[in-house]
Amino acid sequence: MWDGSVTFGDSWAGYIGRADQNTAHSHVAIQLCIGVGQPATLELPGKVIRAAGVIIGPNVEHRAVAESHPVAFLYVSPDTALGRALNALLQDDGIALASDELLECFRRSTSLSHFVDALSRLLAMTPPIDHRLHKALNILRLDRDGPGCVSRAAQAVGLSSPRLRCVATHQMGVSLSQWIIWNKLERASKSLAGGSTLSDAAADGGFSDQAHLARMMRRMIGMTPRTAAVVLRKPSVSFKTH
């Protein structure tokens, strides 16, 4: 069963606890999967990886195998310095094993927030994204009007919509449309964590309806909104890294 808890940070989210049923999925976030005490097991197309820690790139289909010991999942937005630094570690297949330094950084941490801060310092060499893209993404994070949001953000930063989309894909490694859906899922997830109904969470996220939220959540997270709500509403557990 999903018996852990979720933490939301600034452009990241994390889970620590046991994993349970989930279907194959992919998303725009860079995901770090670390086994707590024992290796974690991931299923990918055509292979299974069992390792102490694995970095999973954007749009790489995967599924976490349910095991009796806890795991830690960290999801980092690709527009952040940490996301870009993790992206730079990936191999050609979009996967990389976590280094000993990264794993030691996790073991020494006292919370997911502490881990993110320490990891950001460890991988602090990545340059920031284009300032126009950074401003546009901040505008899009706050835009609730739906249609035309990319045009409005592009105009605000002095770019055409096609140029903004091109810059986003080049700098983040994912399309702007995918990033927008992930941002909507983050908003909906925070709404679910706060106790909202599924329909209200869909509206808060900017989805057209509850069915749209369900389709995107299954595609990018591998679970239904109802299951996600149960996980998101669990109280915090003590942070143990080994």
Summarize pLDDT for 207-216 with one digit per residue, the tens: 999 999 999 9
Q: What is the share, in percent, of the chain residues with pLDDT greater than 90?
A: 83
Q: Considering the entire predicted model, what is its pTM?
A: 0.90
Q: What pLDDT sits at residue 3? A: 87
Report residue 151 as tokens: 């045009």
Please provide the CATH number assigned to the domain covering 131-220: 1.10.10.60
Mean pLDDT on 105-130 = 90
- Choose the weakest-confidence range: 30-44, 97-111, 125-139, 224-238: 224-238
Residues 146-183 pLDDT 10s: 778 999 999 999 999 999 999 999 999 999 999 999 99
Strand pairing of 53-56 and 30-35?
Answer: antiparallel
Residue 129: which pLDDT band, with cuts at 50, 70 and 90? confident
Is the confidence at residue 137, as pLDDT, over 70? yes
Q: 131-220: same fold as 5-126? A: no
**73 alpha carbon, distance to own chain's centre:** 9
Q: With a cut of 60, say whether residue 237 has pLDDT above it.
A: no
Sign of CA dihedral 125, 126, 130, 131: negative
CATH fold, domain 5-126, is: Jelly Rolls (2.60.120)
Q: Sketch the domain layout of the chain as residue ranges.
A: 5-126, 131-220
Q: How far, in Å, CA of 242 to CA of 158, rounded?
A: 49
Where b means 16+ CB within 10 Å and e means fewer, 208-240 reads eebeebbebbbebbbbebebbbebbeeeeeebe
pLDDT at residue 25 above 70? yes
